[in-house]
Amino acid sequence: MFKAIIESEKLKETIEAVSSIVDEAKLNLTPDGLTIRAVDPANVAMVSLTIKSNAFEEFTATDGELGVDLNRLSDIMGMAEKAETVELELDEESHKLVIRMSGLTYKIALLDPASIRKEPKIPQLELPASITLSGNDMKRAVKAAEKVSDHITMGVDGETFYLEAEGDSDRMRLDMLKDQLIGIKSGDAHSLFSLDYLSDMVKSAGKANEVTLELGKDFPVKINFQIAGGSGEVNYLLAPRIESD
Amino acid sequence: MTSLCVSCKGKGHCGRPACPILEKFKPLGTTKKLSDNIFGSSPPSVFVGRYGYPHVSAGPLVPPDVVGKEAGTFDDPGSWNGLGIGDIVRLRSSLVRSNMHFNVKDAATPDSMLQKTQELALSQTPVDTEVWFYKAPRMDLRFDGILSPMGPAGEVTKLDIAQNPVVPRQVDRMVGDCDVAAADAVKEMYSADISTDHINRLLSIGLLGKKRKIVPTRWSITATDDMVGKMLAEDIRYYPESSEIQVYSGELHGNHFEIMVIPGPLAFELIEIWMPRAVWSGGTTHVEADWEDHNGKKGYSNLGGGYYAARLPVLEHLHDLRRQATVFTIREITPDYWAPLGVWVVREAARYALSLPPLKFDSIDAALTDMSIRLNTRTDEWYHKSSLLDRRLNQRTLLDFL
């Protein structure tokens, strides 16, 4: 069984964090909250998300799985006002998700969890460098890079976090010194990433107060931040591109 | 001649009253004298012009004095593979276009002339038709980047259908149901093996959807290719990935296709190469590319209707095989494509290439080397335009780090 009440904003944040990677996802329910783990069809980007039950105003669930069409859900959540609470309930008989908000009731069809792409194995990575910065700064850096290129290099040089983008004719470089960051752990880090993917991830991460990046040399980047007022956590993993000489 | 011609294909973007490229094909048509009354079987075929939208001219196409089965070939590109470009132009130029004038919204409340045109469009087989004109139709061969060439046209005074149309059951159901959205009707009919030409004809003459409207043929062709393609892609996304790298190759009317099927999530890219002296390109090579990854396409392709026409056979192929794959496609247009035949050439050329046995390769590089042997244009002239190959060859996956 599953029944929960949550502020609409928190639910929207949760959906957005996952829908930037996949269109359909499996929600794993436990009495303590819910988790989602998904990888995009090209195996390039991964999301793993946890929302604890205390993010909800009310939360009752037994262990189970729900297959959800995220675009559908996000479309319906567009009807909810910012401050309003939304009630979610699994109708076991029809196997539909009932969504209630200020007088409105939706019943949406769930997907067969077996039809959704298998949950990925998570690479176990020990990444040498780590940077913590404001979500807003992260968003600005990515936006700056999009103006000149499709790719961005992220790296650490001493106690400076740098981002570089190189287009056919134009270049961008952004240096963030220690005092502009919330924290930095130096290490050998320099990797190239596709902005297609990173821009989608930053839509969610950009709203967080703190975003932690873990980087290595030609290794995936881990992007970690909190959502739902600190009761939820998002971890992205994005594979690097091969640097052309 | 500039690259403007390659993207415009006779739509008039240069501001000239008539397209200089298209004008020079006019003498190709037959010059048979026509009277003001013609009788023949419409293949069936209807045409809706786009000038003056929402006030458009529309009506059936009829080959004078050709009746029965033979008439069907006049609007069936699938049966033209053995013909030369000149033969096709001659065949099309003998089709007479009958013009009547409607507002696109008339589709919902048709007068008797539109009703007859709609009735004819329902048929799967040729329909005997008699048309009376104000004056004998004059030779006016028309070419276009999307549409097949068309012959003389005349203003209609009276139209008669002398035969009952043969209407497939599924067509009858979808046309009779005003509560079915056009996209759903297209889906239903396609699943029931109604041809895309037939679906396009119904959409164009305003027989599908909730709020019915007449749609200019030029738009309805691409709308049909896109709707059917999207519908196939929805299924394909759930199919297992193909297991080997294959290259399909084939050419029709100077449209040379190289199609590489790569194991991976559904994605499609088309690189269009207009060689010097192909119909729209003038003296230089023009290369344009567009693609979509597994998320599908948003917005209209910069390659226009040709993108959707090339994508459809590829998706049909994957759908038949029940496999998803990343498909890299090159369409090289050679000087052999000397007169524009319409976007069906793209569809049929890709279909033809995919009907031939593929070659198998161990790597994308080996496949590219093989493809380049059959292409006239050097690899370095198009390779950098490919986003799909760039992503495929330079983006690592998380599986590399497990």
Q: What is the ipTM of this complex?
A: 0.91
Residue B369 neighbours by CB under 8 Å, 6+ apart: none
Residues of chain A with Cβ-Cβ distance to B399 below 8 Å are: 43
Are B62 and B74 contacting, i.e. CB atoms less than 8 angstroms apart? Answer: no
In this prediction the pTM is 0.88
Q: From the list A120, A123, A241, which residue is nearest B395 (CB)?
A: A241
Q: Tokens 């600005």 — which residue?
A: A140
Residues of chain B with Cβ-Cβ distance to A42 below 8 Å are: 264-265, 293-294, 391, 395, 397
DSSP three-state, residue B163: coil
Cα–Cα separations (whole angstroms), residue A210 to A137, A225, A243: 10, 6, 29
Q: Report the distance separating Cα B277 and Cα B269, nearest Å.
A: 24
Q: Is residue B203 part of a domain?
A: yes
Residues of chain A with Cβ-Cβ distance to B383 below 8 Å are: none
Could you count the other beta carbons within 10 Å of the beta carbon of residue B381? 12
pLDDT at position A172 is 94
Q: Is residue B2 part of a domain?
A: no
Q: How far is B266 from chain A (nearest CA, A)?
A: 8
Q: What total of structural domains would you count in chain B?
A: 3
Q: Are residues B113 and B206 in the same domain?
A: no
Across the range B241-245, mean pLDDT stands at 96
Per-residue pLDDT for B402 more than 90? no
Q: Are residues B262 and B387 in the same domain?
A: yes
- Of B140-149, B150-159, B174-183, which gets the smallest average pLDDT? B140-149
Q: Are residues B219 and B252 in the same domain?
A: no
- pLDDT band at residue B27 under the 50/70/90 scheme: low
| Average pLDDT score over chain A | 93
Number of Cβ pairs < 8 A linking chain A and chain B: 51
Q: Do A39 and B265 make contact, defined as CB atoms within 8 angstroms? A: no
Q: Is residue B335 part of a domain?
A: yes
Q: Which of B132, B161, B190 is the last residue of a domain?
A: B161
Cα–Cα separations (whole angstroms), residue B289 to B328, B331, B382, B384: 11, 10, 9, 10
- Of A126-135, B31-40, B127-136, B264-273, which gets the smallest average pLDDT? B31-40
Q: Is residue B35 part of a domain?
A: yes
User: Does B401 touch chain A if contact means CB atoms closer than 8 Å?
Assistant: yes
Q: Which of B161, B188, B222 is the last residue of a domain?
A: B161
**Percentage of chain A modeled with pLDDT above 70:** 99
Per-residue pLDDT for B2 more than 70? no
Q: Do B264 and A46 make contact, defined as CB atoms within 8 angstroms? A: no
Q: From the list B264, B393, B401, which residue is nearest A239 (CB)?
A: B401
Across the range B85-95, mean pLDDT stands at 86
Task: Report pLDDT digits (tens) over A93-119.
Answer: 888 999 999 889 999 999 988 888 888
Q: Tokens 């195996």 — which residue?
A: A43
User: Does B298 touch chain A if contact means CB atoms closer than 8 Å?
Assistant: no
Q: Are residues B227 and B99 in the same domain?
A: no
Question: What CATH number is associated with residue B62?
Answer: 2.40.50
Across the range A223-243, mean pLDDT stands at 94
**Percentage of chain A modeled with pLDDT above 90:** 86
Q: Is residue B145 part of a domain?
A: yes
Residue B263's domain comprises 245-401
User: Does B264 touch chain A if contact means CB atoms closer than 8 Å?
Assistant: yes
Tell me the CB-side half-sphere exposure of residue B210, using CA atoms within 13 A. Answer: 5
For residue A120, say if its preceding peptide bond is cis, omega within 30 degrees of 0. Answer: no
Q: Report the distance separating Cα B333 and Cα B247, nearest Å.
A: 18
Q: Give the max Cα distance, chain B.
A: 77
Per-residue pLDDT for B19 more than 80? no
Q: Are residues B278 and B389 in the same domain?
A: yes
User: Does B398 touch chain A if contact means CB atoms closer than 8 Å?
Assistant: yes
What angle, 0 to 180 degrees and rounded to 10, lies between the N-to-C axes of helices B217-236 and B305-321? 30
Q: Is residue B372 part of a domain?
A: yes
Q: Are residues B273 and B327 in the same domain?
A: yes
Q: Are residues B250 and B397 in the same domain?
A: yes
pLDDT at position B151 is 82
Across the range B69-83, mean pLDDT stands at 88
Q: Is residue B47 part of a domain?
A: yes
Per-residue pLDDT for B146 more than 80? no
pLDDT at position B28 is 62
Among A201, A241, A245, the strongest candidate for a mutation testing the B interface, having the largest count of B CBs within 10 A, is A241
Q: Is residue B339 part of a domain?
A: yes
Q: Are residues B250 and B395 in the same domain?
A: yes
Per-residue pLDDT for B24 more than 70? no
Q: Do A42 and B395 make contact, defined as CB atoms within 8 angstroms? A: yes
In what helix (H) or strand (E) does residue B132 lie, and over which residues does it extend?
strand B127-133
pLDDT at position B147 is 80
Q: How far is B237 from chain A (nearest CA, A)?
A: 9
pLDDT at position B87 is 86
Q: Are residues B64 and B209 in the same domain?
A: no
Q: Are residues B372 and B224 in the same domain?
A: no
Q: Are residues B139 and B191 in the same domain?
A: no
Q: How far is A165 from chain B (nearest CA, A)?
A: 16
- pLDDT band at residue B1 under the 50/70/90 scheme: very low
Q: How far is A125 from chain B (nearest CA, A)?
A: 8
Q: From the list A41, A239, A244, which residue is nearest B396 (CB)?
A: A239
Comparison of pLDDT for A82 and A33, the residue scoring more = A33
Q: From the list B394, B399, B402, which residue is nearest A242 (CB)?
A: B394
Q: Are residues B42 and B144 in the same domain?
A: yes
pLDDT at position B80 is 87
Q: Which of B210, B236, B262 is the last residue of a domain?
A: B236
- Residues of A engaging B, defined by a Cβ cutoff of 8 Å: 23, 39-46, 115, 120-121, 123, 125, 194, 219-220, 237, 239-242, 244
Q: Tell me how far apart the terminal alpha carbons of chain B are, to the nearest angstrom.
A: 54
